[in-house]
Structure formats: C-alpha cells, structure tokens
Amino acid sequence: MSELTTVARPYAKAAFDFAVEHNAVAKWQDMLMFTAQVVRNDDMHQLLTGAVASDTLAEIFNNICGDQLDEHGQNLVKVLAENNRLPVLPEISAMFDAFKAEYDKEVEVDVTSASELTAAQQTELATTLEKRLARKVKLNCNVDPALVAGLVIKSGDTVIDGSVKSKLNRLADALQA
C-alpha cells in the first residue's frame, strides 16, 4: 500500500494544484472518483493488466468515461496510461480527497460511544472538537456497548479515550503494579 501511495502522491498533488489554480476542485474530485470506480470494475481491471498499448488503453478508458472527464481529465488519463499508472487511480482519488480536506481545513473524526448520541450531543461535540482541532469537523459516530460509558474519539493520530472501559483497565493495571 505504501508503494501505491508513493506512486500516486505526485499525480494527486499535481491534479489538486491544477484544480485549485483553475477553481475546479469539486469537478476534479468528481472526475477522479468516477475514474477510480471505472478502475475497480472487474472487466476494466483485466484490460488494465493485459497487454494493450498505452495509447489504445487511454482511448478506451476515455471513451468509457465519456462526458464525465473534461479535456484535462482525459490528458491525465493519457499520462497515467503512458506510465502504466492507471491502476493507481483509486489511490490518486483518495489522496486528492485528503488534499481537499486539508485545503478546506476539514477533518473526519471517528466517535465511538456506548450508546447512540443525540443530535444535540453530536452538535456540542462537533463544536468542541472544532475549537480544539481548529478545523471544521465531520463526525462519524459508532456505537460499542462494550465501552460501558463515555467516548473514544479518533482523528488521524490523535486519540481521546474517555471510556469507562479504558478507565477501569487503567485502574486494574495500577492496582496490579
């Protein structure tokens, strides 16, 4: 996976920079998402791994995508085909999304609670996290009754574990030490 990331990063960065420069970030995000879905198709995957000339492959790919790609998107497909990089389009799309989130100062936060959070609790939590993280927050809420009570909040490398289960585990470790 890290090899795919290494290969995809320069293409994603170039596409993102181009999209920002031309005020077309949403359009590029849609184009890349669509091309990633095309690559994930089983028939297309067989074609991509077959022995097809790069110009023919780019032409087929662009014909399949049709009006979903503008001229610049088609040029990206041609460059990727010439470098045998079309299979990394899903990774390019994911990295583009990450660049967009960073650009928009947005962050996805995974929240796990013992019981389902109400809309008011989610709003209050999002507001608090926005202040702490200095970004716009999108909550992904999950329920795990094993937590007993409290929350586990994950955002990138940051983890805030305020669950009763975790506190009980720490207390047990302290008592055994």
Q: Which two three-digit tokens encode residue 145?
A: 């009754």
pLDDT at residue 67 in the model: 83
Q: What does the pLDDT look like over 134-148, one tens digit per residue?
A: 888 888 888 888 877
**List of domains in the chain:** 2-102 (1.10.520.20), 106-176 (3.40.30)
How far, in Å, CA of 174 to CA of 81, rounded? 58
Percent of the chain with pLDDT over 70: 98
pLDDT, the chain, mean: 84
Q: Is the pLDDT of residue 2 over 70?
A: no
Q: What does the pLDDT look like over 50-95, one tens digit per residue?
A: 677 777 778 887 878 888 888 888 888 888 888 888 888 899 999 9
DSSP E strands in the chain: the ranges are 106-113, 136-143, 151-155, 158-161
